[in-house]
Structure 1
Amino acid sequence: DLALDIDYLGLVVNHYDARRGYIATSSLQSWMDIKDPRVVGVIGDLKEQKEAVRAKRPLLAYAPRCEQSVALRALAREISK
């Protein structure tokens, strides 16, 4: 499944939370404005990821329909194009 040959992908912003204020939101916007390398995914800092870590389970098994799981699947689709 992971036999992908990737030369160049882009950036993934992990643990993003707009509630952290101007620095977080302006940093994300700055990364998106660069365009090369482009931002290919934004993974939010949500409770399901923390709960999965505490439960010692993979996020996609613990909460397969949560926002983070959806974003990870979208990222997987993006890199497998």
Structure 2
Amino acid sequence: MSHDTGHPHIVFEMDLSHQEARRRAEVVAALGADWDPIEVMRGEEAAYDLLYSGLDSAQRETYDMLVAAGVLPGRKAGRAAD
């Protein structure tokens, strides 16, 4: 729906790239010097492995269905984290 009031449109743009870069720098600084992103990723992989281990046949079927539908990532050997 458009209402033409006869007034020209005013374009308003705001470049937030500087603020986003500053925000990201603050996040990294808050993580601290001892933060190890590789170790964090290994921990996440181990948690996922534990979460999906020991599934019974019905749970495995549901898991496989969710992987096939793209809802969950597959947990197969050869993935990037291996």
TM-score range, shorter chain: under 0.3
Q: TM-score, normalised by structure 2?
A: 0.27
Instruction: Name the larger-Rg structure.
Output: 2
